[in-house]
Each structure stands twice: as C-alpha cells, then as structure tokens.
C-alpha cells in the first residue's frame, strides 16, 4: 500500500448509470476519494437515496456546485453537456479530465484529449491530461479488430452484429427502455449509421494506415440489463491457429482482455472490467466474438482504468471485480 495521500475525484452527472458506477468503484479504491458528486436535479439528497444499493456505504450528498480543487474530474453528463461544462467552467490547470461522453472523441478542442482505450493508447494515456473515454460499442468492437489492424490484415469489408443491454440507453425513460417493451423483445436500431462507427474507423486506421474498408454494423437492443455481445467477421488471409496466436500476442500485456479457446457468454464479464474474445475460422471468414460489460469496460470501469494509468497506480487497482457468474 502506498503512503501517498489519496487523490481527490469530482464527478459531474453523478446520478446516472455511469456516474453511479464511478461512485461504486471509487468508494472502494485504495488511492482515490470522492471530493464531490454533482447532480443538479438531486442536490442535497444523499447518494444512497438515488443509488439505493449504496445505503450503508456512504453518507455523501449530491451537490449542485463544482469544486475546483480536485485531481481528476469525471464527466458523466450526457452527450453535448460535457463540452458545454468544460467551456463554461474554470477548471484548474492541474485537474485531469476523463470525459465519458462522445464530445471529445473527435471534436476539435483547445485541450488535447487522448482516446482512452488502454489496449490501443496505454503509453499515451499515462502522459495525458485529458481523456476521451471510448464508447461502449466502440470498445467491444475495436477489441475484436485491433490485432488484425496491427498486422495490416483488414483488407476486406467488416460485418458486425452486436446486442447491448438496456443500460446502454442511459437512465432517461423512452418507449424502448420500458420493461414492458424491452422484456422478451429484440430490435435493431441505427443500422449502418451508429455514432460509434466513426471512432471505430479512426482507431483501426491509427494502426493500419491504409484501412479504408466499409464497416457494416447492425446494433441490437437486447432483453437484458447490461453487457454487449458482438459477433464480428471478415475475410482474412490467416489460419485459425495463426489468428489465435496473433490475438494472444497482442493482448498478453493487457490485464483485462482475454482470448479464449472455448465458448464465451455475457455472464462471464457482467459486473467486471474484463473483455473476453474468441477467434474462429469458417472457410475464408475470420469470426471473432467479443463481450464486455457496457457500464464497466464499456464506460466507468475503463474510466477508472485510465485514471490508474494517468496517476501511476497499478492498472487493475480497484477493478478486481466479481462477475455475476449465474
């Protein structure tokens, strides 16, 4: 255990799903403490009045204010709100920012944001002041493709079908998030046009400079609460054994991403910061399954993983979590 004082963390948008997960992780983190949890609509309420599972774990209250003296600031506000907050508030120069929205993943800014996928930019993240946390679908899909891009093997169209849990839509109510609609149901949304396609393409091109293949992505709303299961396939000139070895080699130094040689399922990763992959070959098609928890490796867990790297903590610190298993 380090003798260093704990770093102070602030959370903007702390009442939502990702904000709640940040709170849960930081309450148990040995080297960080929550300085404030901001929620305009819940100011003055105890955190456990909103995140009811935290009763007995914290007596912190939500605040509507922004405290400047923090070491790291997590932006868990909705898309469009993060850039507005950064532009409207005087944030101390030493404060590191981790934005969980899409606002800074490709937007021009006077602050230099690093795309926060450790399996792609770990060394850059260690030196970064500002992090744009990847999207949940983007994380799951990029992990299925990064080793191929790194080996310049993406020379054909990529096909993806991926289902996400209801928490991927955020906490706000909508017709497609109600239990009576979502339960025992399955639907497609934003086919071929999902907003994460841009960052996926950018990430692949950062490894394979000549990458210009179409990415055909069919997102689905699953009848479950959390997790993403992505099925990815593309024509690739590599054998099943070679592909498995390629993936193992690429991820061997990354503590949360695992390449399996047997069937994988969502419950192996739900409530953890893990990603699990399985690589198979069918004829000329290389088929990759990729699974993550959309709120952890796909959002808040990855944000804390990035915080660990930025402050020189062990990458897995505070993230050795137990899966639901069954």
The residue annotated as part of the active site, out of 76, 136, 140, 317, is 136
Q: Tell whether 125 is covered by a domain.
A: yes
* CA pair distance 191, 226, nearest whole angstrom: 20
Do 179 and 284 lie in a common domain? yes
Please give the Cα distance from 139 to 297 (Å, whole number): 8
Task: Compute the distance between CA of residue 199 and CA of residue 6 in angstroms, rounded to an integer.
Answer: 33
Domains of the chain: total: 2
Average pLDDT, the chain: 93
CA distances from 292 to 64, 82, 144, 176, 282 (A): 32, 25, 11, 22, 24
> Which residues share a beta bridge with 218?
161
Give yes or no: residues 51 and 62 share one domain.
yes
Would residue 43 count as lying in a domain? yes
Range of the domain at 281: 136-292
Q: Are residues 97 and 151 in the same domain?
A: no
Furthest-apart CA pair in the chain: how many Å?
60
Does residue 140 share a domain with residue 129? Answer: no
Which residues lie closer than 8 Å to 48 by C-beta, 6 or more apart? 54, 55, 56, 57, 58
Examine the residue annotation and report whether 136 is marked as an active-site residue of this protein: yes
Q: Are 1 and 31 in contact (CB under 8 A)?
A: no
* Domain shared by 306 and 271, yes or no: no
Query: Would the pLDDT of 107 be above 90?
Result: no
User: How confident is the model at residue 62, as a pLDDT?
Assistant: 96
> Is residue 180 very low, low, confident or very high in pLDDT (cuts 50, 70, 90)?
confident
Average pLDDT over every residue of 316-325: 94
If asked whether residues 99 and 209 sit together in one domain, one would say: no
Answer yes or no: is pLDDT of 173 > 70. no
CATH code: domain of residue 98: 3.40.50.720
What does the pLDDT read at residue 80? Answer: 85
Cα–Cα distances in angstroms (integers) from residue 85 to residues 59, 79, 232, 254, in the given order: 26, 11, 36, 33
When comparing pLDDT for 65 and 70, which is higher? 70
State residue 71's pLDDT score: 97
pLDDT higher than threshold 80 for residue 2: no
68 with 158, same domain? Answer: no
pLDDT, residue 324, reads: 86
The token duo for 250 is 């690429």
Same domain, 126 and 145: no
Residue of 79, 70, 146, 108 lying closest to 307 (CA atoms) = 70
Q: What confidence tens digit (pLDDT) does each residue in 197-239 have?
A: 999 999 999 999 999 999 999 999 999 999 999 999 999 999 9
CA–CA separation, 58 and 48 (whole Å): 7
- Same-domain status, 123 and 141: no
Residue 234's pLDDT is: 98
Question: pLDDT, tens digit, for every residue of 28-68?
Answer: 999 999 999 999 999 999 999 999 999 999 999 999 988 77
Please state the separation of Cα 232 from the chain's center in Å: 18
pLDDT 10s digits, 6-19: 999 999 999 999 99
Same-domain check for residues 66 and 174: no
27 lies in the same domain as 151: no
Q: Is the pLDDT of residue 69 over 90?
A: no
Which pLDDT does position 167 carry in this prediction? 80
Same domain, 265 and 143: yes
Residue 112 lies in a domain: yes
């Amino acid at each position: 255990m380090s003798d260093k004082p704990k770093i102070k963390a602030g959370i903007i948008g702390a009442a939502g799903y990702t904000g709640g997960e940040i709170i849960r992780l930081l309450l148990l983190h040995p080297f960080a403490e929550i300085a404030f949890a901001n929620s305009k609509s819940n100011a003055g309420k105890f955190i456990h009045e909103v995140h009811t599972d935290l009763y007995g774990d914290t007596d912190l209250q939500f605040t509507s204010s922004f405290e400047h003296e923090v070491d790291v600031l997590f932006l868990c506000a909705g898309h469009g709100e993060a850039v507005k907050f950064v532009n409207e508030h005087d944030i101390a120069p030493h404060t590191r920012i981790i934005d969980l929205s899409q606002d800074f993943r490709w937007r021009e800014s006077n602050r230099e944001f690093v795309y926060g996928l450790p399996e792609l930019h770990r060394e850059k993240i260690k030196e970064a002041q500002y992090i744009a946390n990847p999207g949940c679908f983007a994380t799951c899909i990029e992990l299925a493709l990064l080793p191929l891009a790194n080996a310049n093997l993406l020379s054909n169209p990529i096909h993806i079908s991926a289902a996400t849990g209801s928490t991927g839509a955020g906490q706000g109510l909508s017709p497609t998030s109600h239990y009576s609609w979502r339960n025992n149901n399955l639907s497609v949304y934003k086919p071929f046009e999902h907003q994460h396609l841009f960052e996926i393409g950018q990430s692949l091109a950062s490894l394979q400079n000549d990458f210009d293949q179409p990415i055909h992505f069919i997102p689905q709303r699953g009848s479950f609460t959390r997790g993403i299961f992505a099925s990815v396939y593309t024509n690739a000139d590599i054998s099943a054994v070679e592909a498995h070895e390629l993936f193992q080699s690429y991820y061997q130094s990354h503590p949360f991403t695992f390449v399996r040689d047997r069937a994988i399922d969502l419950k192996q990763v739900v409530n953890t910061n893990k990603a699990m992959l399985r690589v198979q070959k069918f004829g000329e098609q290389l088929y990759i399954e990729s699974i993550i928890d959309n709120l952890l490796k796909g959002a808040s867990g990855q944000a804390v993983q990035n915080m660990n790297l930025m402050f020189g903590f062990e990458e897995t610190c505070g993230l050795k979590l137990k899966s639901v298993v069954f």
